[in-house]
Structure 1
Amino acid sequence: ELPGAFLGPPNGLREFFASNNRLSGPIDSSICNSSLVSLDLSNNMLFGQIPSCLPSSSKYLRMLNLGSNDLVGSIPANFSKCDQLQDLDLSYNQLEGIVPRSL
């Protein structure tokens, strides 16, 4: 268990799995411009919006799981820039609005 604020994964990681912890706070924009292929932050206590820089700066991202948090706002439209994205889970949040056509 890793309780506390989520400050982002260490630089250089390709995979970061931190589900089912008590990570809290917003998703820091430091997560952008990373070389992550897989990111799982599901089942935590993250809140706020999905950083709009995440989809456009994560060109290697294949799996993103942010499910079961308390994220709000809309799904960033620029997920179309995630050419490699194969698995996306945003379920059980407070997201609203239109699902981008690219998804």
Structure 2
Amino acid sequence: MVSHRVLITVAIAKLHFKIVQEKKIMELSFLSIVGCLLIVGGLLLPIYTANLFPLSKKSNDQYQEMMRKGDRGWIIDFKINQWIRKNWIYIPILGVLLFFIGLLF
């Protein structure tokens, strides 16, 4: 039995192919599609990982305690969260650049 998701995906693909065949819409280049994904993903990443704002004092104390104990899982998690907190804004900016470069070429 085929799941509903597969049927919906096939229907969307057929509709997309039909619309593109009739040239009703412009097909985006690969760079533009990657740019759109980076914009959406870059904006959702800090929200999903709760890294929009700095750590609270309680969370920071928890991380420091786990790092003192030498728990590698917490150390890796802390480093990943620090990286996301510092660099998340560059992901959507890169996405906008790729989107417009893809539109030009």
TM normalised by structure 2 equals: 0.19
Bigger fraction of residues in helix: 2
Higher strand share: 1
Under a length normalisation based on structure 1, what TM-score does the superposition of the two structures give?
0.19
